[in-house]
Structure 1
Amino acid sequence: MAIKFDKCSGASKFSALGLLVTLGIVFGDIGTSPLYVMKTIMHASEGYDANYIIGAVSCIIWTLTLQTTVKYVIVALSADNKGEGGILALYALVRKHNRKWLYVAAIIGASTLVADGIITPSITVTSAIEGLKAVNDATPVVPITIAIISALFFIQQFGTSAIGKLFGPFMFFWFLMLGVMGSLHLAEFLPILKAFNPYYAIRLLAHDPNWFLVLGAVFLCTTGAEALYSDLGHCGRRNITVSWIYVKIMLILNYLGQGAWIVENIKHIGDDVNPFYAIMPTQFLLIGVFMATIAAVIASQALISGCFTIFSEAVNLNFWPRLKIKYPTNVKGQLFVPSVNNFLYIFCIITILLFKTSGRMEAAYGLSITITMLMTTILLAFYLHMHKIKLFIVIPFFAVFVTIEGLFLTANMFKFIHGGWFTIMLAGTFCTIMYVWYNAQNIRHKYLVFDKIHKYFDIISSIKNDTTIPKYATNLVYVSRSDSPEYIEGKVIYSIIHKQPKRADHYLLFHFEHIDEPNTLDYTFTPLIEDTLFRINVRIGFRVQPYMTLYLRQIIEDLVHEGTFDLSSGYTSLKKKGVSGDFRFIVIHRIYYPASSDRGRDNLMMNIYGLIKHLGINEEKALGLDTSNVVVEKVPLIVKRNGNSRRIVPMPTPTEDSE
């Protein structure tokens, strides 16, 4: 049976409205790249000439074609997990085929994506506000940028669905402005159209001694491609594909126009000139800065929301501690993670104060996202092979894009000492936490002990009917780790029978089965002992939060309506008055004691785990349980026997274990 979902916005349906909404959600990051790409390319070579600019624009056109259009729009968007995209959704899709090491590619890709997402709001907003310097050179860029970023992160807690409805129309006019402004300058240097010929890109990279700086700058034009894939679930493949045609045309026109203007004015350009604003008529400049600022905010909003989704998925894929998640609106997929929001805000402010100008941020930008793209390529190759695509197609695909992204990575490595270290440091921190959490959970599961549940049917029934044992609750609910209804954890049996025998009318074993699909939420109800012992198995997708209390309430209502569960109180006086039965929840915390294990690696991993678990919330809060009727029982995870722990039944890895 299914558990009900909240409403969906419907933006994923292919329609004119869907196309408009897609412009506002998907293309903010890649759509603000013209703010800084050509300026960065100018700074990559001291003595640039017309051939250099033509070659650089050619690199941009063919990067947008190969990297964004071919890899992401054509190939990656077809690799959807029940309509959802992004590197973690892709990992959930391919891990079914037991490629255990692929989790490393997933956590590296997710970590670098979040790290680069921290610098994106900073560079886009700073680049936009720097346009005001063309009007007044004394414009306080840093304070204005910090104020805008602060307001942006502050409003996250209220949800952005209402504001989001305005994003699409605005971005339509933003891209139209890009195309028009670029077109106005094409006639100044028509040979710029040679950039459509890839020969000029190849010639530039083959002969320019600073080719690595050029590639590092060119790569910035495609940094939003990974976000494009991640937003697949919000907008749908057809909406993204069709709207990309319009977006790409407008972007290329703007890059061509900037290139033509640079060549025409090559002898008069100062170091602080941004060709993006230079191609605007003077009377339009303030409007252009305003539109650029709003576009930067929209791009930042998309990346912030994307980071919320990444951490939400990471939790359910067993990569991150449980986090407090709020839903400020009833729009499906829109969530707010306070701890992530605060972290992103703090590091965005640090980024602004550390680098101060967009020029210095550009030196740090793009390095980590290149690694994300490489990891996506690896996972895509496995996905294509998994879907029986011929190797003579998969191997060239893999070779081509690993080569392209390898070159981009090599070029961006030169940014490391100029600021790239900052995003790599952040990515390394995220990656370490994910790696330790994932492996520590596997270690914890290794020591879980299971036994056949039918062996305990008689004694559980006897406890229920033994009036000499004080009644513990009408309905006693245990959080179960057993993936099979035929088994039960030894710690649960110990709690019922030995640790103060617990008499109840109903014993419920509640189990979350985390699956590799994004939005699945349904359950099965299995009576194990008639009117006494039951198992509830909830299948939950990696984008759905495990709110146990909420789901249990709906499940019980369904069962009572069907007549398969008696909700009446087990206390005679209360039952006569028609009072519903009480519920008490037992959560077992398994404590890991290093002294009980002689495995050095396990002890090291668990010691680090003990530190990072404080990043999240405890299991009771994560499950949404009312602490007034929750009992937490602490037991040792390992019971040492003759120098070795005993494991009765091997079970699949659970999604999360308690502390």
Structure 2
Amino acid sequence: MDLHKKHGIKLSLSGLIITLGIVYGDIGTSPLYTFKAITGGLSVLKPEYIYGAVSLVIWTLTILTTIKYVTFTLKADNKGEGGIFSLFALIRRRVPKAYLLAIIGGSALLADGIITPAITVTTAVEGLKVVDPVLPVIPIVIGIITVLFMMQQFGTKILGRSFGPIMLGWFLMLAILGGIQVMHHPAIIKSLNPYYGYVLLRDYPGAIILMGAVFLATTGAEALYSDMGHVGAKNIRYSWIFVKVTLILNYMGQGAWVLEHPDTFKSVPSIFYSLMPSWFIIPGIIISTAAAVIASQALISGSFTLISEATSLRFWPRQRLRYPSDIKGQVYVPSINWMLWAFCLFVVIYFKSSTNMEAMYGLAITITMLSTTFLMSMWLRIKKVNPAFILIFMAVFLTIEGTFFVANVTKFVHGGWFSVLMALIFITVMYVWFNGRKIKNSFLMFVKIKPYISLLHDISLDKTIPKYATHLVYITRANNVDEIESKIAYSIVNKQPKRADVYWFLHVDILDEPDTFEYKVTTFDQGKIYKVDLRLGFKVKPKVEIYFRQVIDDMVKNNEVDIISRYQSLRNHDIMGDFKYVFIDRVVNNDHDFTPHQKFVMQIYNMVRVMSIPDWKGLGMDTSNVYVDRIPLNVDLKYSRMMRRCGTEDRTRDAER
């Protein structure tokens, strides 16, 4: 069976239109600001510069977007899912250290999610200056962005249906506006020849700065891969043909317009809006703003999905997730939503214009692209692709993306610092959270359940111990079906004996595959001790209590367990017994001999922890049935040095007397 039939939207005309609304918002709105950035530093216009610049844009779209992402990267699908975290999930068992690349690339992509809404909406609204040069743009932009983020909590099911048709109209508008200008200056067709781009890079003194502007044309390429799970690879591949043609026509049209207006192109508010006849300015601004909002929506939704996947991969503290609609994969993360909103407003208010924002745009996404290239090379090696091909793949794309990275580094002091700062903040959180959990997990000790069966059975029957619950459910991290953490045994037996009629050990295994939804039950003492392993894909909604209840129902139907209350008065009326869930909170003490690196990580980890909701909330548990048992990490530690008892000889002599 083809993957696109099982995952995403089936290849069809309607699927292609939906893909336009979901995938191409970012790269599709690049014509709003890219050419303005390309011509921004020109003092003297030379036709060769325009031909070369348009050629560089065309071949950047071809090499990076078409060849790297559409042709090759879309093949690296994780059961139909795409994106840098899905790519990492494919290789993490073979290359565990690759988590650093995934963290860096994912963090840079989140930083891009902050910048895109600000620059796209601002650029679109700035078209109003063509109508009224003194019109205040910033308040309008702030209003649009605020409404956009407020809408996230309600989902985009209704509005989402219009995204595809609106973007179809947008791309047709790009093609028509550009095509008309190409007819006025047909010589611009020469820019299809990559030789003009080569000559410009060879002869133009500011070529490296120019490349930073050219890169803006392909900043949304990573979204093609990230959104594969929503629409399917085939819909992306076929729709990209149409999208690429319209983009090239528009870029050529803007180049043609500049060549036709060599004396005025520097003074116009927007080259993009200058392509429009005066009667179409207002409708064009409305369509452009709608496209900018859709592009922003795509990046915001993508950020939610990214955080959801990062949480599943233990890169990010648990967040409260909501699912505002039944659209596949749509998730809403309230804390991230308002964080993005605050940062977007800062960008708009601080940088004030799209021209200033262009300087910070592009640097973060080049980091993501470089990370994806490295991860792709690892995936290709795992797939046993010819090493010569992998070497060529790496050489070509690292050279191109490395050049763009250097070009964008030149923007650092002019605004690029902000995207780097945001990426560093996200990298720090992910690195500390991932490694902090690893440090805590290094103190985990697992024990076999079998030696405790008799003891737990006796505790269950010991009426001198106060009854703790009818069904006592411990959440365990033990992957092996016959093991639990030693701290669970300590909690039940040593800390405070906990008598229950039935003991359950519940293990939740988040898999690299996105949609797995299954369970396994292991019986250790019929009617007394069970272990349940839930195997969930990383995109399955975390509703563990509901899933556990489903397991219980299945077991009751199969006469495997009795869940009726053991209190006789309640049992006479077939009342279901009570369930109590226990989470072990492993407390970090101050007496551990951590290395300096571990001390640093754990100090930051404890600060970052305030961002996280408790594990039981993250797993969708009912608060009234949950107890958190706080147990020090060092309960299981062996003594590294034995103390010598002093005064032994004196006491021996006294005893002899």
TM-score if structure 2 supplies the norm length? 0.95
* 3-state SS, counterpart of residue 495 of structure 2: coil
The correspondence for 2:461, drawn from 458, 465, 475, is 465
Summarize the alignment of residues 139-538 of structure 1 with structure 2, pairs less than 5 Å apart: 139-538=135-534
1:398-434 deviations in Å (ceiling 9; x for gaps): 1100000000001000000000000100100100111
Q: Secondary structure at the match of 1:577?
A: coil
Moved over 6 A (4+): none
* Equivalent residue for 1:53, pick from 40, 46, 50: 50
Whole-Å separation in 2 of the counterparts to 1:615 and 1:549 = 23
1:320 alignment partner, SS class: coil
Structure 1 gap ranges (5+): 1-7, 646-659
Decide whether aligned partners of structure 1 residues 564 and 121 sit closer, same or farther in structure 2, where only a CA change above 3 A counts: same
- Which of 83, 101, 115 aligns to 2:80? It is 83
In the TM superposition, 1:544-623 aligns within 5 A as: 544-623=540-619
* Separation (CA, whole Å) in 1 of partners of 2:517 and 2:136: 50
Cα shift at 1:272: 4.3
Tell me whether 1:71 sits opposite 2:68 in the alignment: yes
Counting aligned pairs with the same residue, the percent is 48
What is the deviation of 1:44? 3.3
Deviates more, 1:398-407 or 1:10-19: 10-19
Letter of the aligned partner of 2:32 in structure 1?
L
Deviation (angstroms), 1:598: 4.4
Is 1:25 the counterpart of 2:34? The answer is: no
Match in the other structure for 2:111? 115
Q: Name the SS for the 1:513 alignment partner.
A: strand
What SS class does the counterpart of residue 503 from structure 2 fall into? Answer: strand
Q: Secondary structure at the match of 2:627?
A: strand
Contact 1:44/1:210 (8 A) holds in 2: no
> Does the 8 Å CA contact 2:564/2:574 hold for their aligned counterparts?
yes
Provide the rounded CA distance (Å) in 2 between the counterparts of 1:41 and 1:331: 39
Q: Does 1:44 align with 2:47?
A: no
Q: Give CA-to-partner distance per residue, 1:199-243, whole Å, 9 cap, x none.
A: 000000111000012100100000000011100000000100000
1:488 offset after TM fit, Å? 1.7
* Alpha carbons of structure 1 residues 558 and 644: separation in structure 2 relative to 1, 3 Å: farther
Question: Which stretch shifts more, 248-257 or 594-603?
Answer: 594-603
User: Which position in structure 2 is the counterpart of 1:649?
Assistant: none
Distance 2:108 2:466 in 1: 55
Which is further off, 412-421 or 508-517? 508-517
In structure 1, distance between residues paired with 2:45 and 2:403: 22
Q: Does the 8 Å contact 2:7/2:80 carry over to 1?
A: no
Partner of 1:328, secondary structure, is: coil
What is the total number of aligned residue pairs between the two structures?
637
AA aligned to 2:192 is F
Gaps of 5+ in 2: 643-657
Cα distance, 1:499 vs. partner?
Answer: 2.4
Q: Judge conservation of contact 2:473–2:581 (CA < 8 Å) in 1.
A: yes
Which amino acid is 1:411 matched to?
A
AA aligned to 1:267 is D
SS in structure 2 at match of 1:567: coil
Counterpart of 1:595 in 2: which secondary structure? coil
1:112/1:368 contact within 8 Å kept: yes
SS of equivalent residue, structure 2 residue 96: coil
**Distance in 2 between the 1:403 and 1:44 partners?**
25
**1:19-65, Cα deviation, whole Å (9 max, x unpaired):** 11001000011100000111110113322311100000000100010
In 2, Cα distance between equivalents of 1:644 and 1:546? 44
**Contact 1:593-1:637 at 8 Å conserved across structures:** yes
- Cα deviation, residue 306, structure 1: 0.2
| Greater gyration radius | 2
- Residues 272 and 185 of structure 1, relative CA distance in 2, 3 Å threshold: closer
Q: In the alignment, is the contact (CA less than 8 A) between 1:478 and 1:585 conserved in 2? A: yes
C-alpha RMSD of matched pairs (Å):
1.5
Compute the displacement of 1:10 (Å): 7.9
Structure 2 vs 1, CA of residues 10 and 446 (structure 1 numbering), >3 Å: closer, same or farther?
A: closer
- Residue identity in the other structure for 2:587: I
Tell me if structure 2 keeps the 8 A contact 1:44–1:213.
no
| C-alpha separation in 1, matches of 2:93 and 2:627 | 36
Q: Which one-letter code corresponds to 2:588 in the other structure?
A: Y
Give distance in 2, aligned partners of 1:249 and 1:591: 58
Residue 102 (structure 2) pairs with residue 100 (structure 1):
no
Change (3 A) 1:536 1:614: same
Q: Deviations over 1:67-100 (max 9, x none)?
A: 0000000101111000000000000011121x12
| 8 Å contact from structure 2 (residues 8, 80) kept in 1 | no
Aligned amino acid, residue 201 of structure 2: L
Q: Distance in 2 between matches of 1:45 and 1:353?
A: 27
1:139 aligned counterpart, secondary structure: coil
Task: Provide, for residues 423-448 of structure 1, a one-character-per-residue CA deviation record: whole Å limited to 9, x for no partner.
Answer: 10010010011111111111111111
2-structure distance, mates of 1:244, 1:217: 22
Deviation for aligned residue 1:481: 1.2
Q: Deviations over 1:510-560 (max 9, x none)?
A: 001122112222111111111111011011222224322121122212222
8 A Cα contact 2:8 2:229, kept in partner: no
What do the CA deviations read for 1:589-633 (whole angstroms, capped 9, x no partner)? 110113232433222211111000111111221122222222211
C-alpha separation between the residues in 1 aligned to 2:117 and 2:267? 24
